[in-house]
Structure 1
Amino acid sequence: MSERLQPGDTAPAFTLPDADGNEVSLSDHKGRKVIVYFYPAALTAGCTKQACDFTDNLDVLATAGYDVIGISPDAPEKLAKFREKENLRVTLAADPEKSVIEAYGAFGEKKNYGKTYLGVIRSTVIVDEEGKVERALYNVRATGHVAKIIKDLGI
């Protein structure tokens, strides 16, 4: 089980390949707020709903000074398919080794249909302009999550 982040913690730095194989780093966004969200798998129902919600609200979030990065253990090629199939505009980053997912506390024990297993915990970490954790939300629901973030942030 990875340690969960708390408000005030320094957000772990990362550099991961995006859907096109280009590097995406948290440091590229210094001076802007970043919503880093973790999801279990591209091209699945809940993850598609969440990614589409972020895409639909991207302009609202960007205007308020937020960038959005979605991270999953999928390979860049699968992320590219996901982006094209769903017309996604959020940055999708690949973390097949799950090193960033674990660093952000988004990997651990999950329960599904009575079975317990290890996997990616649907989580959202909001990082401020200085690279500090503003909010860390774990075990979030795919549906309605983006609307809740917008409401909670007063956007």
Structure 2
Amino acid sequence: MDKMSKEQRSHCMASIHSKNTKPEILVRRYLFAHGFRYRLNHPRLPGHTDIVMRKYRTVIFVNGCFWHGHEGCKYFVLPKSRTEFWQAKIERNRERDLEEQRKLAEMGWHCITVWECQLKPKVREKTLQSLEYTLCHIYLEDHKVKRYEMQEEERVMAAEPDVEKK
């Protein structure tokens, strides 16, 4: 059974916001401090993207482990009361997340998900450095110079020696 009254639980759950969460602010501060620029919650993209980086054609979702059902995470535990409601709600969130990421991928966007548990103090620096590395890799792959190989017969020098002189 729940330790809080129905009114207390309602007030507690209503105070949880979906924008400007502590994990999201951690990621944004790190990115900005390392020279990455971004937009927040871009209205023209499908879904609720947290961070949009147009230069990298990348969107970053900063997900809470409980609200998005992070499997195998100690922070994702279904409540003991109203289990069916919470199971259905979290399953809808997962399905919506997958659908949004599928639409973004079809539009040519890269999708990165950072979980709340990956931003805990013990692993935070490693996670953020990995994110930085991934963004740099995406940029380099997308802006790679394409080299075309020419057939041997097609190669012509600009100033060829005059071979017909006797």
- When the two structures are superposed, what TM-score results if normalisation uses the length of structure 2? 0.30
Q: Quick check: which one's strand share is greater?
A: 1
TM normalised by structure 1 equals 0.31
Compare CA radii of gyration and give the structure with the larger one: 2
Name the structure, 1 or 2, with higher relative contact order (CA <8 Å, separation 6+). 1
